[in-house]
Amino acid sequence: MKINPFEVTFTPLAGSTFTNLLRLLAQNRFRIGLVGLPRIAYSVLMSLLLSPFNAYETIRFRREIEATRIEKPPLFIIGHWRSGTTYLHNLLSQDPRFCYPTTFQTVTPGLFLRFEKLIKPLVAASLPPTRPEDNVPLGADLPQEEEYAMGNLSPYSFYNGWCFPRNMRFYHRFVCMEEVSPRRIEEWKRTYRYFLKKVTLACGGKRLLVKNPANTPRIKHLLEMFPDANFVHIYRNPYHTFLSMKRNIEMEMTLYCVQRPYSQRVNEQLMVRLYNHMFDIFFRDRELIPRGNLVEVSYEDLVANPLLVVRHIYEALNLPGFHQVEPVLQQFVRAQSSVKPHRYVIGERLQAHIYSQLHSTIDRWGYSAKAEDAENDVVARNTLPG
């Protein structure tokens, strides 16, 4: 991986509370690589500068946050990274009855209630117009997965593993919540509930629409907090997910890491291990979801006919008002028509390699390696991954 150590503004650590940043550094025994020195210096400086704002907001809004009730069952969008969760999140967020964590709220989770007007322009200026791994728009007010917020409030987030890749195995535990002590799980729950309460308070009590791939194997724990929660699981051709996620790691981790990452081969092994473990747990625990509270859709169907898939979601989950929001959805879909998907062409050797890694979901969902449209991805070469 080619890393530019002076590309510092994209690291999520800069929005971390200072206490959490110290915990992360201690958790990793202050092991910072040469490539990470500018980024960690930038992160420490920004975290220190923002710490008075974080402290003020914590004190000022503590009672209001504690008193906030998440009365409407959240709607969780789950599915592996690079499976269409962002597109689905952006679609459903067009319904004004939902509220969702924004990029600004997830980047600076400690201060968005009081200091939005002051700090958000700085965050917006630091963001590129699109995500680094594709050309999906990225903006301070657009929907964002709250796993970033969890990484800035606690040391138990998936993305902490991209910042500290030499400790990635440890952070993967907090996706599947296995080999994790009950004390740490309870701390994660408290932090998660705290952040979702803040978002609920900020949006006046609207129903939460939350997208987080890391939640896919956390169904048991989410139901313990929100027994009536609804879930939309979106899945995608595993051949394409494999290649897209591999590219995503290679591109985005280089912008986050403060340590020299493992080799591409080791990163692939870790990625595959987490993928299979996630779905083993998901297929087991989805039976815990009350009947009528889970709907599963495919990425390919969503891209081919987004309005039909969204209508199916509304009907399956008994969500009212699809016809009222349909014109807005149509407008959003038309606006996305300028995005031209690439196509995958997968050679036999690469196909065999991916099948050997992900055969469980490939067989379960009945996918093949044929060339298909895949939003914002590249053509896969007929070579084995490095």
Closest CA to 77 of 189, 215, 199: 215
Average pLDDT over residues 80-108: 97
Is the pLDDT assigned to residue 352 strictly greater than 70? yes
Q: Please report how many Cα atoms fall inside a 13 Å half-sphere around the Cα of residue 379, on the Cβ side.
A: 7
By DSSP bridging, strand 230-235 and strand 207-211 are unpaired
Q: Please report how many Cα atoms fall inside a 13 Å half-sphere around the Cα of residue 319, on the Cβ side.
A: 28
Average pLDDT over residues 224-252: 94
pLDDT value for 296: 98
pLDDT value for 340: 62
Instruction: Fill in the DSSP letter of residue 234.
Output: E
pLDDT value for 10: 87
Average pLDDT over residues 194-220: 98
Instruction: List the chain domain ranges.
Output: 12-341
Closest CA to 293 of 78, 95, 93, 101: 78
Residues 362-379: tens digit of each pLDDT: 999 999 887 554 333 333
By DSSP bridging, strand 98-99 and strand 75-78 are unpaired
Residues 190-206: tens digit of each pLDDT: 999 999 999 999 999 99
pLDDT value for 382: 34
Cα–Cα distance measured from residue 159 to residue 150, given in angstroms and rounded to the nearest whole number: 9
Rg of the chain over Cα atoms, rounded to whole angstroms, equals 20
Q: Which residue has the higher pLDDT, 137 or 210?
A: 210
Mean pLDDT for the chain?
92
Is the pLDDT assigned to residue 386 strictly greater than 50? no
Is the pLDDT assigned to residue 102 strictly greater than 80? yes
**At 289, phi and psi to the nearest 5?**
-70, 130
Percent of the chain with pLDDT over 70: 92
Residues 247-263: tens digit of each pLDDT: 889 888 999 999 999 99
pLDDT band, residue 380 (cuts 50/70/90): very low
Closest CA to 295 of 316, 281, 315: 316
CB 235 within 8 Å of CB 79: yes
pLDDT value for 384: 41
pLDDT band, residue 126 (cuts 50/70/90): confident
Cα–Cα distance measured from residue 374 to residue 383, given in angstroms and rounded to the nearest whole number: 19
Is the pLDDT assigned to residue 161 strictly greater than 50? yes
Is the pLDDT assigned to residue 383 strictly greater than 70? no
Task: Name, in order, each residue with C-beta under 8 angstroms of 91's C-beta and a sequence gap of 6 or more.
Answer: 302, 306, 310, 329, 332, 333
- Among 110-114, 157-161, 261-265, 370-374, the range scoring the smallest mean pLDDT is 370-374
Among the residues of the chain, which ranges form H helices? Answer: 18-27, 37-67, 85-92, 103-107, 116-126, 147-153, 160-163, 168-176, 182-202, 219-225, 238-256, 264-285, 299-304, 306-316, 322-335, 348-365
Average pLDDT over residues 292-302: 97
pLDDT value for 142: 95
Residues 131-152: tens digit of each pLDDT: 766 667 788 999 999 999 999 9
Average pLDDT over residues 260-283: 96
- For the domain bounded by 12-341, which CATH number is listed? 3.40.50.300
